[in-house]
């Protein structure tokens, strides 16, 4: 009979004809499933932390771009009003540009709302898929 030392220091045999009790096998399977679930949860935590970090950095960059774009839009609106004031009075030029901007804002709001509705909820997809695969494998082996 050969014995092998496990990582936790316990010895277990792998010799021919060595049998384990049902209780021993159930205890071992339970411990292994518990360890597997802990590792899957750790993977999910790591995956969500990585996604959160990227989302935070991306959000900060988008915020900075938005501030700069706001100044550019202000300059563009001023130029458009000045350009139209050559043909129309300044007050009418400003009113027309304001109406166009409200129209653009409405279209963008409608498109943004549509995209938000289609967005999938944030979840650790790989970890969940791994957990489902593990559970399917366990179920398949239990049924044999």
Summarised one tens digit per residue, pLDDT across range 60-78 is 999 999 999 999 999 999 9
Please say if the pLDDT value at position 1 is more than 70. Answer: no
Q: How large is the average pLDDT for residues 90-98?
A: 96
- Give the H/E segment covering residue 125: helix 125-143
The phi, psi pair for 17, rounded to 5°, reads: 80, -5
Tally of domains within the chain:
2
Q: Is residue 6 part of a domain?
A: no
pTM here is 0.42
Coil vs helix vs strand at 135:
helix
Q: Which residue has the higher pLDDT, 141 or 51?
A: 51
Same domain, yes or no: 76 and 115 = no
Calculate Rg over the CA atoms of the chain.
31
Same domain, yes or no: 68 and 78 = yes
b/e map 82-121, b = 16+ CB within 10 Å? eebeeeeeeeebbeebeeeeeeeeeeeeeeeeeeeeeeee
Q: Is residue 54 part of a domain?
A: yes
b/e map 129-138, b = 16+ CB within 10 Å? ebbeeeeeee
Same domain, yes or no: 32 and 69 = yes
Q: Is residue 131 part of a domain?
A: yes
Spell out the residues 6+ positions from residue 138 whose beta carbon is closer than 8 angstroms to its own.
33
Distance between CA atoms of residues 126 and 109, nearest Å: 32
pLDDT, tens only, 123-136: 777 888 888 888 88
Determine the structural domain holding residue 111 and report its residue range: 89-137
Q: Are 122 and 51 in contact (CB under 8 A)?
A: yes
Ramachandran region of residue 120, left (φ > 0), alpha (ψ -120 to 50) or beta?
A: beta
Q: Is residue 4 part of a domain?
A: no
pLDDT band at 9 (very low <50, low <70, confident <90, very high): low
């Amino acid at each position: 009979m050969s014995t092998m030392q496990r990582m936790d220091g316990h010895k277990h045999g792998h010799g021919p004809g060595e049998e384990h009790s049902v209780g021993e096998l159930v205890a071992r399977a339970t411990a292994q499933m518990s360890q597997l679930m802990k590792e899957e949860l750790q993977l999910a935590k790591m995956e969500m932390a990585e996604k959160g970090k990227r989302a935070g950095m991306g959000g900060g960059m988008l915020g900075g771009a938005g501030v700069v774009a706001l100044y550019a839009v202000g300059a563009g609106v001023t130029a458009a009003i000045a350009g139209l004031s050559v043909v129309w009075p300044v007050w009418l030029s400003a009113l027309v540009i304001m109406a166009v901007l409200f129209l653009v804002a409405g279209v963008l709001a409608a498109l943004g709302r549509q995209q938000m509705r289609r967005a999938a909820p944030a979840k650790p997809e790989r970890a969940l898929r791994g957990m489902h695969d593990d559970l399917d494998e366990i179920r398949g082996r239990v049924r044999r």
